[in-house]
Amino acid sequence: MPSDMLRNLELDLDVFSGPFDLLLSLILREELDLLEVQLAEIVIAYLDHLERRERLNLEAATEFLVLIAALLELKSRLMLPGEEVEELDELEPAQAAEELLDRMLRYARYQNAGQWLIERQEAGQQFLLRESGPPAELSKTAEKPRATHDPQLLARAVGGLLKMPPAPDLRHLRNPRVSVADRLTILRDLLRRGRFDFERAVAGQDRMTVAVTLYALLELYKRGEADWEQEVPFAPITVAVGGNAAARAVAS
Amino acid sequence: MSPLARVVEALLFLSPEPVSGEALSAATGAHQADIDAALAQLRAGLLGRGLQLREVAGSWTLVSAPEAETAARELLARPRSNALTPAQAETLAIVAYLQPVSRPEVARIRGVAAESATNALVERGLIEEAGRSQFGAVLYRTTTQFLASFNLSSLRDLPDVQTFDPSPQDEAALRDRLLRAGEQRAESLGSSR
Amino acid sequence: MSPLARVVEALLFLSPEPVSGEALSAATGAHQADIDAALAQLRAGLLGRGLQLREVAGSWTLVSAPEAETAARELLARPRSNALTPAQAETLAIVAYLQPVSRPEVARIRGVAAESATNALVERGLIEEAGRSQFGAVLYRTTTQFLASFNLSSLRDLPDVQTFDPSPQDEAALRDRLLRAGEQRAESLGSSR
């Protein structure tokens, strides 16, 4: 469970407003769709919060990193359904770009149409409809019950619900091949040889592997097995053995 | 007609209640004397029209012209928006065959929320509340108006369920099969995302 | 204004919903052609007045003139409804142009889930269920209220969807950026191997 500080982190997002731990539990209970949550907004809210508090609580910060990274991983898995990544990966770069371009153009069309609707709605609000019903003395006779519907409508409707949908085709699905455990092993192997550049751990790998490796690294940091540094944003990330590594060696 | 008279006409048209001169003056920002002039203009402009200006206890309202009364009764007595939407038809069918049935159960069978369809059916007088389930959810059943609207003399007259399997008259069996189909629908949709 | 046009004006004033030509004809006993003529007369008679005649999905209704909006919102304390969020607007556009369309299809075009946007649009009365796809997914279509709130007399009033396609220049720029990004990625993968 998150510490008090995280629990009380108040968020005001597009799709949710309230404390962070409520957001978490809503997502875990699948009552809120993670795909609709802008994780960047949460990070910004957290940074604002840190700024106001001045003092950095390292434990809470690590905890936040782990939680937000877990959410990121979950979201990236949701956003990159296996089949589509496969599809794009198998295409030549030029073909993949064409395919992506097609999708973006199709989306741009409806994005623009949506903008038009927003303006149209604005203009449509100038005209108001009368909302009051007719005077009572005229509507007394309203809606006599009479046979207006065909009973077969009910049989058709309920019969339609009995229809079993065709079983979904699962042949194209494969289990995700990247596991946190595997990436942990690779990172620990590298660590045994000393400091290394994060790029080495993920050289030539796809985005999913990079994301899972970063998550594994967070896990190591949390356990005190690894430390990492980055001089400036986008600079190489250097990973080194952490303060707690000795303890781990004893335990194992 | 002056711009102010036009606005006054629109205000009286929209307002469900008679509107006082002060309220018209406050809403438009015009002086009482200008409102009076606008009302006089409106009264004159409505001569020979289908609407009339009327004063009720010092306030103003628009009413329909008396010669429209017969046609109005005829129009308003007709059942409005006859057809059931697909969501309403499914919900009504589930209530009719499985009653009494709760909204969560309807939602489980349909695979989507049943709130607005249920409310619309209650409003149309086709279903009504019938106590609560053991979990506290409101139960629904069909009304006598439902029977009249569908020309049924009793629930025993409900038509046989139309499906590939012609024998599911037993209500418990039907409920089971509907729930199973609903679950499978939810699964196959979930995996298509 | 003819007696029939007057009665039509009164009927549109009294009815809580838009009224179809057939319903006007049935209520008044007049032929459809005479109803059409009466509607044309009414439209002309309302020029320069506080009310306007409006066609919504093949039915007729009266609305207040735009210049009365400020005063009306003041008098009735009816604030403007919230603007659509971008997610809602995109979803509504997809439903409007491709209807009937299922939620998974909307999600495929937008690249993100459409659940809360769809629910919000249903709640606002702008879209409604329209049966099911072959896989059992609920299909959605726009409502009459959608036409009324967006000042459209029918779906044919929506602009040709191609008018919303990005310009050839924008398309070329997008293509360029994508190709360059692809090359860079290929290079960086090559060099890191």
pLDDT in tens, C25-64: 999 999 999 999 999 999 999 998 999 999 998 899 999 9
Cβ contact, residue pair A97, C179, below 8 Å: yes
Residues B86-163, CATH architecture: Orthogonal Bundle (1.10)
Instruction: Answer yes or no: do C89 and A118 touch at CB < 8 A.
Output: yes
**How many C-beta atoms surround the C-beta of residue B31 within 10 A?**
10
Q: Tell me, what's the pLDDT at B189?
A: 54
pLDDT at residue B193 tops 70? no
Q: What is the pLDDT of residue B191?
A: 43
Residue B71 has pLDDT above 50, yes or no: yes
Kindly identify which residue of chain B lies nearest to residue C24, measuring between CA atoms.
B75
Predicted pLDDT of residue A152:
84
**Residue C112 pLDDT more than 90?**
no
Q: Residue C64 CA to chain centroid, in angstroms? A: 19
A135/C14 Cβ within 8 A: yes
Binned at pLDDT 50, 70 and 90, residue A27 comes out as confident
Rounded to a whole number of angstroms, the distance from the CA of A218 to the nearest CA of chain C is 23
pLDDT digits (tens, 9 = 90+) for A118-171: 998 888 888 888 877 666 666 554 445 566 788 888 888 888 887 776 666 666
Q: For residue A249, what pLDDT is reported?
A: 53
Phi, psi of A164 (to 5 degrees): -80, 130
Interchain CB distance below 8 Å, B189 and C104: yes
Give tens-digit pLDDT for A74-118: 777 677 654 454 555 556 666 666 777 788 788 888 889 999 999
Q: pLDDT band at residue A222, thresholds of 50, 70 and 90?
A: confident
In this predicted model, which residue has the larger pLDDT, C185 or C153?
C153
Please give the pLDDT value at position B107. Answer: 86
Which of the two residues, C70 and A47, has the higher pLDDT score? C70
**Across B97-117, average pLDDT:** 85
- Strand-pair partners of C102: C139
Average pLDDT over every residue of A183-202: 88
pLDDT recorded at residue B48:
87
Gap between the terminal Cα atoms of chain C: 85
The percentage of chain C sitting over the pLDDT mark of 70, rounded to a whole number, equals: 92
In this predicted structure, what is the pLDDT of residue C191? 53
Task: Report, as an integer, the average pLDDT of C128-153.
Answer: 88
pLDDT of residue A108: 86
Q: For the residues of C106-139, what is the DSSP string, one character each?
A: HHHHHSS--HHHHHHHHHTTSEEEEEE-TTSPEE
Q: List the single best residue of A126, A156, A196 to mutate versus C (max C Cβ within 10 A).
A: A126
Residue type, C101: V
| Smallest Cα distance from B2 to chain A, Å | 19
Q: Which of C1, C2, C13 to mutate to test the interface with B (most CBs of B within 10 A)?
A: C13
Average of per-residue pLDDT values in chain B:
84
| Each residue's pLDDT tens digit, A117-133 | 999 888 888 888 887 76
Decide which of 1.10.274.30, 3.90.420.10, 3.40.50.300, 1.10.10.10 is the CATH code for B3-70: 1.10.10.10
User: What pLDDT score does C55 carry?
Assistant: 92
Res C113 pLDDT > 50: yes
Rounded distance, CA A45 to CA A54, Å?
Answer: 14
Probe site for chain A from B98, B143, B149 (most A CB atoms < 10 A): B149
Q: What's the mean per-residue pLDDT of chain A?
A: 75
- Across the interface, whether the CB atoms of A154 and B93 are under 8 A apart is answered yes
What pLDDT is attached to residue A209? 85
Q: Do A121 and C159 touch (CB under 8 A)?
A: no
Residues of chain A with pLDDT > 70: what percent? 68
In chain B, residues under CATH classification 1.10.10.10 are: 3-70, 86-163
* CA dist., res. C120 & res. A202, Å (int): 42
Q: Band of the pLDDT at B192, cuts 50, 70, 90?
A: very low
- Judged by average pLDDT, the poorest of A65-79, B119-133, C89-103 is A65-79
Residue C31: per-residue pLDDT:
94
User: Nearest C-alpha of chain A: how many angstroms from B157?
Assistant: 9
More confident residue, B100 or A164: B100
pLDDT at C66: 92
Q: What is the pLDDT of residue A246?
A: 56
Helices (H), chain C: 3-14, 21-28, 32-45, 69-76, 86-98, 103-110, 115-123, 144-149, 168-192
At A239 the three-state DSSP class reads strand
Residue with tokens 């969020």: C85
Please compute, for residue A156, the number of CA atoms within 13 A of its CA located in the half-sphere on the CB side. 11
How far is the C-alpha of C53 from the C-alpha of C63, rounded, in Å? 7
The type of residue at A22 is L
